[in-house]
């Protein structure tokens, strides 16, 4: 019995569903005019942390793909998931009225 046969696979359809969710939530927040600092209310801040973990995972999958065969949809899905978590953090903070802190260099 091949254990890999029972592992769920990431599909382009899953990526498309994430992209639709990104568009839906992004339509409800003000357009970004500057970089923002992660934070806001606790749920929004937690989503920013989750995005960071997701980005780290994406980098690890890309590095793994240089050495092993990896489903190409996996890295794409993780990239879109991190974007979804960012938009969801903005959406949660916007609905809560927490606002966003712009990043001002220097």
- pLDDT grade for 12, boundaries at 50, 70 and 90: very high
> Is residue 56 predicted with pLDDT exceeding 90?
yes
**Nearby residues of 6 by Cβ (< 8 Å), 6 or more positions away:** none
- Using one digit for the tens of pLDDT, what is the confidence trace for 27-43? 999 999 889 999 999 99
pLDDT, tens digit, for every residue of 62-101? 999 999 999 999 999 999 999 999 999 999 999 998 888 8
Rounded to whole angstroms, the Cα distance separating 78 from 17 reads: 13
Q: 């969710």: which residue's tokens?
A: 21
Q: What one-character DSSP code corresponds to residue 32? A: P
User: Residue 47 CB: number of other CB atoms within 10 A?
Assistant: 22
CA distance 98 to 40: 6
- Tokens representing 3? 């254990």
Q: 36, 101 in Cβ contact below 8 A? A: yes
């Amino acid at each position: 019995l091949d254990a890999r046969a029972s592992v769920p696979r990431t599909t382009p359809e899953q990526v498309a569903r994430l992209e639709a969710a990104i568009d839906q939530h992004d339509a409800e927040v003000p357009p970004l005019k500057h970089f923002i600092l992660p934070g806001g209310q606790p749920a929004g801040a937690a989503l920013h942390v989750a995005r960071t973990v997701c980005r780290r995972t994406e980098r690890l999958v890309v590095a793994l793909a240089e050495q092993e065969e990896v489903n190409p949809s996996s890295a794409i899905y993780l990239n879109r998931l991190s974007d979804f978590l960012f938009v969801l953090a903005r959406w949660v903070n916007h609905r809560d009225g927490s606002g966003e802190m712009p990043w001002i260099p220097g």
